[in-house]
């Protein structure tokens, strides 16, 4: 985005906030539990300095990252296997297509039954749905490696390990990264869901607690914090991938095959 | 090395046929392909599209198996890509590892075989062979098409191959780049002593580069005729292309391809 686009975007946001402030502040809309942006900001500023807040944020981030890590390791590993082996695909694709569309929140009662109100329950609720984007994108990335590159690997007599790490993985990396990003945002959502209904810790539980304590300003504050956490995690992942794969992001998209 | 088949053939194809399954049965791509490649020779194979040129090079390279017939490299049947044979593909953008620098691409085939210093020396030597010394640290996508194709050639030469298989390597380059790469290839042949199978759909390119020109023709494709090129070892973009031998052979090849295309 250019500076001008940024400025316009921020401007639009400010106008929305101003309208909200005026509507609530002037009493044009009367709704006891809808605080004005100003009240939310004030609540947020008292919230973030409390030691308990750091614990809540830390818990949610740790659960998100741990669950995401498990999902990504399993998902990319399986995805790489399925993407490179047509036989594995033939046997597994049907199972994946049956399991994948199951709604993520449907795992919550299952996880509760298995693990009760615990971190294990939260991790299961995160890992089960976050696995699929990593798996499916990695699989498609590996399956889509141009035949020319497999020809090159074969005629240069590269070992299986060299092929995987130095040819196929970098070639599939853009798709793998897409899967990792989708998994990460899903992991955060599922962590919050698990904390709201299951594991009584972290930002999700705090959100429900403030709602039940009739502190709508703090509740909205938590919503905001969760949103920002998602943006920051996504940004950090993008930054890390650009740093790890410098040659990747400016390569041309030219993909053509000779007759 | 002109005309005739060398007694010491590097590659030999005997009655090679290639068939692929399609929905209603199978399609014949190649049938009854016979030829031999002599040591140090450039055999140009020219043919219109759809005659199985790329299938032929994939069979010689050991990337796919022929359906019947024999493919011999140094007298032994080819099963998988043989050692000492390097391939240069037409689509350099896919064939190069776009996330690796030019030097790292050239090192691809040797980095696990040679120690670090020897590998660096070989990369440097091959960069110099194709005139890319100043681009060692660039990524392929930063280079022009001609330069990327040079990288692919250097990467093949780094293996010090006895045979280079080239599948329409200059087909997607502009005329000037094409001419300079053709001359470079002739010079490299002189310096390395390698043999070449050079596949092209360009009749003039086939004559200019080839010691012999074989015509691949028909569906399924087969080698219809082979001609020695009487131009001598030293070629010149202007003089050779104006020589009576060149013009006469060009006319014959046009006739051979045109009449049956």
Supply the ipTM of this predicted assembly.
0.87
Cβ–Cβ below 8 Å for B89 and A151: yes
Higher-confidence residue: B2 or B247? B247
> How many other C-beta atoms lie within 10 A of the C-beta of residue B77?
9
The residues facing B165 across adjacent strands are B87, B197
Length of chain B: 261
Which of A114, A143, A126 has the alpha carbon at shortest distance from A68?
A126
Determine the distance in angstroms separating the CA of B239 from the nearest CA of chain A, rounded to an integer.
Answer: 32
Query: Which residues of chain A does B112 touch, with a Cβ-Cβ cutoff of 8 Å?
Result: 158-159, 162
The tens digit of pLDDT for each residue in A189-229 reads 999 999 998 888 999 999 999 889 888 889 999 999 999 99
If you average pLDDT over residues B203-217, what whole number do you get? Answer: 92
The tens digit of pLDDT for each residue in B21-62 reads 988 889 999 999 999 999 989 999 998 888 888 899 999 999
Cβ contacts of residue B85 below 8 Å, gap of 6+? A155, B60, B61, B62, B73, B161, B162, B163, B164, B165
Question: For chain A, which residues lie within 8 Å of any Cβ of chain B, measuring from their own Cβ?
Answer: 146, 148-149, 151-152, 154-159, 162, 166-167, 170-171, 173, 245, 247-248, 250-252, 254-259
Query: Which residues of chain A does B171 touch, with a Cβ-Cβ cutoff of 8 Å?
Result: 258
Distances (CA, A) of B47 to B128, B130, B168, B174: 33, 28, 11, 20
The tens digit of pLDDT for each residue in B76-108 reads 999 999 999 999 999 999 999 988 999 999 999
Spatial separation of the C-alpha atoms in residues B111 and B122, rounded to whole Å = 10
Spatial separation of the C-alpha atoms in residues A44 and A202, rounded to whole Å = 16
pLDDT at residue B3, as a whole number: 40
* B84, B92, B98, B201, best to mutate vs chain A, most A CBs in 10 Å: B98
Domain boundaries, chain B: 9-84+161-258, 97-155
Place of tokens 């290839």: B185
Please give the structure tokens belonging to residue B21: 């399954």
Per CATH, domain B9-84+161-258 is 3.40.50.10490: no
Cβ contacts of residue A122 below 8 Å, gap of 6+? A63, A67, A111, A191, A194, A195, A198, A199, A202
Determine the distance in angstroms separating the CA of A242 from the nearest CA of chain B, rounded to an integer.
Answer: 12
Contacts across the A-B interface (CB distance below 8 Å): 82
What are the phi and psi torsion angles at B116 (to 5°)? -55, -45
Residues of chain A with pLDDT under 70: 1-2, 246-259
Look up the CATH architecture of domain A35-244: Orthogonal Bundle (1.10)
Spatial separation of the C-alpha atoms in residues B134 and B142, rounded to whole Å = 13
């Amino acid at each position: 985005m250019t500076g001008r686009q940024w400025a316009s975007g921020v401007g639009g946001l400010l106008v929305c906030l101003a309208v909200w402030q005026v509507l609530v502040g002037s009493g044009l809309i009367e709704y006891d539990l809808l605080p004005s942006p100003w009240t939310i900001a004030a609540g947020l500023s008292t919230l973030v300095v409390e030691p308990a807040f750091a614990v809540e944020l830390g818990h949610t981030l740790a659960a998100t990252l741990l669950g995401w890590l498990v999902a990504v390791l399993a998902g990319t590993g399986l995805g790489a296997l399925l993407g490179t082996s047509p036989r594995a695909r033939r046997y597994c694709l049907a199972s994946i297509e049956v399991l994948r569309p199951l709604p993520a929140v449907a795992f919550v009662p299952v996880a509760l039954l298995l693990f009760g109100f615990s971190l294990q329950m939260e991790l299961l609720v995160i890992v089960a749905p976050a696995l699929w984007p990593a798996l499916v994108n990695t699989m498609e990335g590996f399956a889509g490696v141009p035949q020319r590159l497999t020809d090159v690997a074969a005629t240069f007599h590269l070992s299986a390990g060299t092929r995987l790490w130095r040819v196929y993985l970098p070639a599939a990396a853009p798709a793998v990264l897409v899967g990792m990003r989708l998994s990460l945002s899903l992991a955060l959502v599922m962590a919050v869901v698990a904390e709201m209904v299951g594991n009584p810790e972290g930002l999700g539980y705090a959100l429900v607690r403030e709602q039940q304590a009739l502190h709508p300003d703090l509740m909205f504050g938590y919503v905001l914090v969760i949103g920002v956490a998602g943006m920051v995690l996504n940004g950090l992942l993008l930054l890390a991938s650009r740093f790890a794969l410098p040659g990747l992001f400016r390569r041309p998209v030219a993909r053509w095959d000779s007759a | 090395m002109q005309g005739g088949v060398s007694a010491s053939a590097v590659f030999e194809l005997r009655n090679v046929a290639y068939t692929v399954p399609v929905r209603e049965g199978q399609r014949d791509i190649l049938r009854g392909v016979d030829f031999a490649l002599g040591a140090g020779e450039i055999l140009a194979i020219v043919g219109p599209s759809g005659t199985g040129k790329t299938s032929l090079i994939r069979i010689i390279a050991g990337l796919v198996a022929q359906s019947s017939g024999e493919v011999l490299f140094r007298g032994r049947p080819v099963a998988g890509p043989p050692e000492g044979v390097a391939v240069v593909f037409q689509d350099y953008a896919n064939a190069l590892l776009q996330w690796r620098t030019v030097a790292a691409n050239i090192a691809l085939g040797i980095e696990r075989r040679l120690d670090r210093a020897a590998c660096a020396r070989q990369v440097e030597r091959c960069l110099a062979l194709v005139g890319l010394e100043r681009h060692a640290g660039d990524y392929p996508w930063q280079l022009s098409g001609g330069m990327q194709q040079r990288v692919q050639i250097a990467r093949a030469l780094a293996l010090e191959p006895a045979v280079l298989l080239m599948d329409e390597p200059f087909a997607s380059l502009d005329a000037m780049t094409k001419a300079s790469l053709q001359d470079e290839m002739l010079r490299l042949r002189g310096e390395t002593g390698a043999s070449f199978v050079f596949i092209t759909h360009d009749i003039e390119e086939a004559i200019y580069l080839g010691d012999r020109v074989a015509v691949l023709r028909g569906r399924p494709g087969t080698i219809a005729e082979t001609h020695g090129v009487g131009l001598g070892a030293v070629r010149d973009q202007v003089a050779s292309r104006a020589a009576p031998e060149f013009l006469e052979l060009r006319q014959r090849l046009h006739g051979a391809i045109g009449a049956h295309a």
